[in-house]
Structure 1
């Protein structure tokens, strides 16, 4: 089993959107970074744990726990010319961008970014690295355990 932190802007896909989605599941659309795409394609497996993180908002932080609920498959927004995530260089025959489905495990009280920074046990989390902009980052088992056992 692997663990991940997946960032989403709450006005686009929040923990509440996930909680109210059919089967409490959403496709993780719009990833347009090759490293994040490769994490979904090569690293994620059904059942992996996800820290659902609200970003680009007044109070960024972990808003809930989810799990990966599908293997990676082509993101349909890359083919939709009306989508903000449209990629004219991608085709159904050779898709560039993938997604996984994410299913809610539980909504939690927000763990703010500042709280994550306060704990030496989390100092190596990629989300805390200066200049980190990746929307998906791996989380170690020790980091997952600390967050789920001590901060939630």
Structure 2
């Protein structure tokens, strides 16, 4: 099992939106960055754990946890001319963009803020604490996962 952090803007799609979906499951689509696409296509596997990270909002940070329930497969939004994620250069025989399905596992009682994450001495390699890292999907080491998860669970409401 591997660990990941998926960024989302909560006014577009939040941890609460994931929790409210049928079966609490949703395709993680619309990713249009090649490095993040490669993670979705090649590295993210069934049963991997995912932090759902809210960005571009008042409370930036880790909001909850999901699990991958379907590994990488072509993102159908790339073929839909009505979708904002349509890619006219992509073809079903050779898709450019991939997605995974994630299932809600839990919401933290309080968002673990980026400011707290940055202050944790053992969290130095995580993309969100590095200057210039703008990837929407990034790997999380097992050690980082354990530290962040414990901090989020123990955060005071």
TM range (shorter): over 0.9
- Cα distance in 2, alignment partners of residues 59 and 147 from structure 1: 16
Give the conservation status (yes or no) of the 8 Å contact 2:40–2:98: yes
What is the Cα-based RMSD across aligned positions, in Å? 0.9
1:112 aligns with 2:113: yes
1:44-91 deviations in whole A, cap 9, x for unaligned? 111001010011112211000111110111111111112111100011
CA distance in 1, matches of 2:75, 2:55: 21
Q: CA deviation at 1:151?
A: 3.0
Distance 1:7 1:32 in 2: 13
Residue 67 of structure 1 is matched in structure 2 by 67
How much does 1:150 deviate? 3.0
Distance across 2 between alignment mates of 1:149 and 1:71: 26
Segments ≥4 residues shifted beyond 6 Å: none
1:13 Cα deviation after fit: 1.2
> Within 1, Cα distance between the matches of 2:113 and 2:152?
10
Q: Which runs of 5+ in 1 are unaligned?
A: none
Task: Say yes or no: does 1:149 pair with 2:150.
Answer: yes
1:97 aligns with 2:97: yes
Q: 2:112–2:151: 8 Å Cα contact kept in structure 1?
A: no
Q: What is the alpha-carbon distance in structure 1 between the residues aligned to residue 49 and residue 120 of structure 2?
A: 21
User: Given the two structures, how large is their TM-score scaled by the length of structure 2?
Assistant: 0.93
TM-score for both structures, normalised by structure 1: 0.96
Other-structure match for 1:4: 4
Matched positions, count: 152
Counterpart of 2:87 in structure 1 is 87
Q: SS of the residue aligned with 1:104?
A: strand
